[in-house]
Amino acid sequence: MQSCAAQAAGAGTAAFRFAAGDPSARTTDAASSSYDASRSYGNRSLLRADPLEQLRGRQVGAGRVPQVPRKACVQAILRVDREAADRDREDGSEKGAQRKRSSFSLQASSSLAMPSLDFPRSRSTSPVRQKTAQERVDDAVRKQAALMADIRIPPGAEMDGELLETAYERSGEVCAEYAKTFYLGTKLMTPERQRAIWAIYVWCRRTDELVDGPNASHITPAALDRWEQRLEDVFAGKPFDMLDAALTDTVRKFPVHIQPFRDMIDGMRMDLYKKRYETFEELYLYCYNVAGTVGLMSTPVMGIAPEYAEDEDAVREIYDDALALGIANQLTNILRDVGEDARRGRIYLPLEELSRFGVTEQDIFDGVVTDRWRSFMRWQLARARDYFAKAERGVMKLDRQSRWPVYASLVLYRQILDSIEKNDFDNFHKRAYVPKFKKLLSLPEAFVRSQLPHSSHGLKVASSSKVAE
């Protein structure tokens, strides 16, 4: 059988070749690619460009794109540059971890600052952060919200249809491989949206793999800097490989701002060095970076209902709600994975809040469920549910066609919180999950509720849990 390396090389992209172990293709690797202008392709010249040009040649010559087994292809795609990472470490480029963005210039908008949630907002104590978490997040929301009306397909700038088709197909394959349920959920979307969400998902997954994948221990801040440079190229119309090309096309068709993508890379930077979170504000920023950003990236694709789309304040509020869904999901993830994270030496719970409930770090490493732990968890669950409640209101303001998949994902993820509760808060030894039959049962209910008029729905969710102290 042809090896993964050979098959990946057959797919014609140098990224595949490098990932499969061909050093001559080194500069094209995902994390290592400092942008090489001679390899780039602008809006109009995608067809002539290497490496997609090679792929196209094969399509014409052989009549079809070589088929790479899904798993092998996905693994090859997601592999990162071990050599470059080692080199970076030798360079001592860890300094990059301290890199701070200078683009946050606006003051926080009070209407966006976690409006209905009375959570801590103390200033960050970290010396490298000059803006509060809330200011940073608000800035990204403002930038994204301001793009709502911007449709960005310059005349004549469309990419080649056939190639793009393949690029999106590959994105769908990665998505199906990594997140089966989510992939099925995307089937509820219109084809255009579905493809765009695949492209965004793949970029997020590749970004996450840099710090969470098999080569994570070799990833340095410099490798993330190069990944960010590559992101800038994607938005500048110069995609590096096929998966990037799908994203380039997506961000042309939908008014998606680059800021949330940059911020997600920042979240990965944070994950490289940060093992503890002192306050909720610190944790909130992390949750925004790794998941709230997804809400900001996805909403322009899912679309806003016409009755809100022209109203600037409403649009901002919807983005706040989208952000809340990401935060809710990430908080849920954290609460579900406490034991798993502790075994990796990590605690993603605010130490300040733990101590307020009389829980120590050692208690977490020991994994004993005490009454103090239960009270702490009840409080955490209530907060996560409040974020879900806020998001729920926003879902109803999305384009009607998009409400069902988003609402279904919200309901399914929120049930993990119920499951933690059913496990008597033992998230040290038991992994909370939602059984398949329950997931299936949720779908029709989510459909019905997602089609209700916004006002009746709002009344229903407004009474959701309060954060109890």
Q: Which residues bind ligand LST6JFWI (CB under 6 A)?
A: 179, 182, 185-186, 197, 200-201, 204-205, 208, 291, 294-295, 298-299, 302, 318, 321-322, 325-326, 329-330, 333, 391, 394-395, 398, 405-406, 409
**33 token code pair:** 């690619």
CB of 154 to ligand LST6JFWI, least distance (A): 25
Tell me the residue type at 269.
R
Rounded to whole angstroms, the Cα distance separating 258 from 231 reads 8
Task: Return the DSSP state at 291.
Answer: I
Nearer residue to ligand LST6JFWI within complex by CB, 237 or 326: 326
Rg (Cα) of the chain, in Å, rounded? 22
CA distance 460 to 392: 10
- Whether residue 420 contacts residue 384, with contact meaning beta carbons closer than 8 Å, is answered with no
Cβ(302)–Cβ(406) below 8 Å: yes
> Is 262 in contact with 232 (CB distance < 8 Å)?
no
- In angstroms, what is the minimal distance from the CB of 218 to ligand LST6JFWI? 21
Closest CA to 179 of 151, 164, 161, 200: 200
Min CB(251)–ligand LST6JFWI separation in Å: 13
CB of 374 to ligand LST6JFWI, least distance (A): 23
Whichever of 79 and 316 has its CB closer to ligand LST6JFWI, that residue is: 316
Q: Which is nearer to ligand LST6JFWI, 22 or 337 (CB)?
A: 337
Given the complex with ligand LST6JFWI, which of 28 and 207 has the nearer CB atom?
Answer: 207
Per the structure block, which two tokens stand in for 96? 């990059």
Residue 81: CB minimum distance to ligand LST6JFWI, A: 21
Indicate the residue among 243 and 318 with the shorter CB distance to ligand LST6JFWI.
318
The C-alpha angle with vertex 71 and arms to 70 and 75, in degrees rounded to 5, equals 115
Cα dihedral across residues 83, 89, 92, 94: positive or negative: positive
* Closest to ligand LST6JFWI by CB, 18 or 428: 428
In the complex, minimum distance from the CB of residue 327 to ligand LST6JFWI, in angstroms, rounded to a whole number: 9
Tokens describing residue 457: 């729905």
How far is the C-alpha of 364 from the C-alpha of 277, rounded, in Å? 14
User: Of 363 and 392, which has the nearer Cβ to ligand LST6JFWI?
Assistant: 392
- In the bound state, the residue with its beta carbon closest to ligand LST6JFWI is 185
**Cβ atoms within 10 Å, residue 219:** 26
Nearest distance from C-beta of residue 43 to ligand LST6JFWI, angstroms: 24
Nearer to ligand LST6JFWI, 14 or 342 (CB): 342
CB of 398 to ligand LST6JFWI, least distance (A): 6
3 state DSSP class of 109: coil
CB of 3 to ligand LST6JFWI, least distance (A): 28
Residue 157 or 179: the one with the smaller Cβ distance to ligand LST6JFWI is 179
User: CA-CA distance, 468 to 381, in Å (whole number)?
Assistant: 10
For 359, residues 6+ apart whose C-beta sits below 8 A from its C-beta are 370, 372, 373, 376
Q: How many CB atoms lie within 10 A of CB 332?
A: 25
- Both tokens assigned to 193: 């949206």
User: Which of 197, 283 has the CB closer to ligand LST6JFWI?
Assistant: 197
Joined together, the tokens standing for residue 202 give 């793949």
Nearest approach, Cβ of 463 to ligand LST6JFWI (angstroms)? 19
